[in-house]
Structure 1
Amino acid sequence: MVARVGGMVPAALDAVRAAGGFPGLWKAIAHNLEKLRACLHNPSFHQACQLETKNKAVCRELLQSVADMLAWATDIAGRCRGPLTAGKMQMRSSIDEVAVKLDISLRDCELLLKIGELYDEGPLDGTSTCVELQRLLAWLEMSHTEAKILALDGLLEALNKDEKRVVSMFGRDNVSAVVQLLTASWPEVVRDKAATVVCHVVITGSSNAWQLLESEVAIPPLIRLAKSGSQKAVVTLHHLSSTSFNTAWVIVSHGGIGPLIDMCNCCVKTGGDSVTQSAAAGTLKNISAAPHVRQLLADHGTVGAMVGLLHCSDALPESKEHAAECLINFTSSANDDCLRRAVVSEGGLYALLLYLGDTNWHEAGVRAIRNLVGVISTTSGDTTRMMKRLGGEQRCVPLLVRTMREVESGVSNSAREVAVQMLASLATYPPNAMKMGKDLACVAGLVHLLDPDRYNTRYKHAIQCLLSLTSTSKRCREIMTLLRTNSHLRRLSDLNVEGATELLHRLEGGRLRSLFGIRKQ
């Protein structure tokens, strides 16, 4: 087929040289046709066309497009042999199109010639990977879809064999060529394969490529691919979003929040793709580390999506970890109680307690609960009252009691202390106090923490909680007395522990009034 296409060049050259009307354009076309003829007659070009079967198919496609271009150029040139009396602008447009198609064909043929020359060099032991990569990158630069697919398949195969070495050979131009294939102008199969290559580059962390991939050049097409469900695109965004706040802002500014939340919600409702789910949650977690975008994330429903993941029994442990850490980021803004209230309102407190109780209360989770204590424990205001009511209605108390009582389970003192602190805050809302007072496990756990021989820690919050419970019922006070609360309180009172004396007076005063029938004045 090379000989047949090569035989078409002289006829095209003769027609072009005989054409009139636009001498400058025809001269440039003739010059490129000369270069094309030299390329087609080069032995290395023939070598490239005799490669293994998968390359032959691409070569046939390329040569057929060159043949079509030559036939068309010959036809257009033949129409220009006589003087042009009409349709000059239309003919000029046709000649320009011939020139463009010839440029593309010449560039593809020169790339194929380069591939042949690389094969002529032969794969040496120390340079075989480098030579093969250059061949694949040459295929990648060709204009034909099949050539792109051939190159991407070869790159993926090479990456699977020796990822770090192959990625280390990538330059910015190579990465840019792959990134260009992420755009919607290419078929889905090309975009998916390109996204997989980019994902390899990102995970490996090539310094040559990161600056380009973090920019607004690569992220928008990755977001569009993510919307279509590309797993590799989401994984790539996850890794890119971990690099800097600027990258997080680029993802946000190009509409990336909505699709990521949809992926999390979809996985919660239908099971979905667990890898995509984890990567989407991880990306939102990374983005939420940037304080200036948290409110925007909350407005889009990120808190609800993360709470849903924590409750989802089918979610991967990694997904739940990302979701918990995302909520931790939302609660870390010391001057933004609006976000903390949003976390409580969406059920985030209960979700965090449930998740962190299952993971031995790692300290990051303890900090998140402590942050939420701050927004719930405010002494006055309708909003605070609503937060405390929600804490009770969302069944947080049993989980807090469980944490407080898990003495031998490895729960840290800080975890136990923050659980008691939260209980003390919730107990200042009378309906919550009533429920706690009727819960023997809750009362017993609080009293247990007052034992100075067992705990070398602060008792303030346990005493505060018990003070709130003493007002709920006579039965609650009797239970406290039976549990030797008074003996603990006497010792704590001697140690000047805040609230110990007051609680002791309440319990002993109540007992004396019961004995002597003294009405409280």
Structure 2
Amino acid sequence: MVEDYGAAAASFDASSTEEWLLHAQKLVPAAMSKAKEVKVFPVKWKMIISKLEQIPSRLSDLSSHPCFSKNALCKEQLQSVSKSLEEAIELAELCLKEKYEGKLRMQSDLDALAGKLDLNLKDCSLLIKTGVLGEATLPLMVSGSVQDSDVDFASIKELLARLQIGNLEAKQRALEKLYDVMKEDEKNVLAVLGRSNVAALVQLLTATSPRIREKAATVICILVESGSCENWLVSEGVLPPLIRLVESGSAAGKEKATVSLQRLSMSAETTRAIVGHGAVRPLIEVCQTGDSVSRLQPLVL
């Protein structure tokens, strides 16, 4: 029963990464077996089964890394995978008994499960590709104050990796922590910042959460003003989301977006791109309302 798996997971909270790996590996065949027994919603369960079938190879790739047991992200990822597998077992049991609160509700739950499994598969791959597992790091808290002893290259790399891994809430915590770290130690962050990290920040400018968009704009503004990665930002598509923030962002987001555009416009080529993306009208409107006038006038004149 799924209750047994859930109880086992609860007792695993303080377990090692290796124990979480074994736990996830045991859940995979159980989830597969249950899913294949289900007769209702065949299209959705077929899609879920195809994702479940990919999990063993991803777990194998993750566990074969020499730093597997030393990185907090691995344990967190295994916990997330286990939670998704437990949910698959639970939903399969409900479908087998046909004890669910309406077809539409169950279809929605199955779609959500498929999305979680997709995220698990993507994150397992990213953990290897980002290279963050090459650093043997201690767990990095993504809340609380920044202490000098907390910040080193390894933990900064782990924090940057968190911008690409996990759900939106986890990325928001990482983004807020990154902002705190940059206020204290901008030089070290810039020293380890890679193009994939810049791309992740640009993607967060289009997040559904206004808070995340605003904080991403703030961090990007710091990067732009540092003069260290303008080319990466532009090539990763930062201009359109910055312009959208000028048009409809919060007051703080609009301010940071306009400052970033002003700095990026120092390049003639980028200025042409800004104009080409339709930024003239929203920038003029900002000037007319008096927001950031002194910063924006050189850009729109």
Q: Percent identity?
A: 31
Structure 1 distance, partners of 2:209, 2:262, is 24
Deviation (angstroms), 1:241: 0.6
Higher RCO (C-alpha 8 Å, min separation 6): 2
Matching residue of 1:158:
181
1:375-394 correspondence runs (5 A) = none
Matching residue of 1:132:
155
1:236 aligns to 2:251 (yes or no): no
Structure 2 distance, partners of 1:36, 1:158, is 32
* Selected match of 2:219 from 174, 194, 197: 197
Structure 1 distance, partners of 2:235, 2:51, is 38
Matching residue of 1:56:
none
Cα distance change, pair 29–249 in 1 and its aligned pair in 2 (3 A): closer
Matching residue of 2:136:
118
1:394-409 correspondence runs (5 A) = none
Structure 1 distance, partners of 2:246, 2:47, is 45
* C-alpha contact 1:219 1:251 (8 A) present in aligned 2: yes
SS in 2 for 1:142: coil
Matching residue of 2:91:
75
1:49-448 correspondence runs (5 A) = 67=83, 70-72=86-88, 75-76=91-92, 79=95, 98-108=113-123, 118-120=136-138, 129-183=152-206, 185-206=207-228, 209-215=229-235, 217-227=237-247, 228=249, 229=251, 230-244=254-268, 246-267=269-290, 276-284=292-300, 288=301
Which residue identity lines up with residue 232 of structure 2 in the other structure? L
SS in 2 for 1:119: coil
Any gaps of 5 or more consecutive residues in structure 2?
A: 1-5, 13-22, 98-102, 141-147
Structure 2 distance, partners of 1:116, 1:146, is 25
Deviation (angstroms), 1:71: 2.0
Structure 2 distance, partners of 1:98, 1:27, is 11
Which residue identity lines up with residue 210 of structure 1 in the other structure? E
Which residue identity lines up with residue 261 of structure 1 in the other structure? I
SS in 1 for 2:246: helix
Which residue identity lines up with residue 171 of structure 1 in the other structure? G
**How many residues are aligned here?**
251
Structure 2 distance, partners of 1:174, 1:131, is 14
**For residues 100-152 of structure 1, what are the alpha-carbon distances to aligned partners after superposition, in whole Å with 9 as ceiling and x for unaligned?**
43131244467789679732599xx9xx6321221112211124222112221
**TM-score scaled by length of structure 2:** 0.64
State the Cα RMSD in Å: 4.5
**For residues 61-104 of structure 1, what are the alpha-carbon distances to aligned partners after superposition, in whole Å with 9 as ceiling and x for unaligned?**
x95796356323553488589xxxxx9xxx99998875543131
Structure 2 distance, partners of 1:254, 1:223, is 8
**TM-score scaled by length of structure 1:** 0.40
* C-alpha contact 1:179 1:194 (8 A) present in aligned 2: yes
* C-alpha contact 1:48 1:116 (8 A) present in aligned 2: no
Cα distance change, pair 261–92 in 1 and its aligned pair in 2 (3 A): closer
**For residues 18-65 of structure 1, what are the alpha-carbon distances to aligned partners after superposition, in whole Å with 9 as ceiling and x for unaligned?**
56878986764443343577779x7557x5599xxxxxxxx69x9579
Any gaps of 5 or more consecutive residues in structure 1?
A: 51-58, 82-86, 289-521
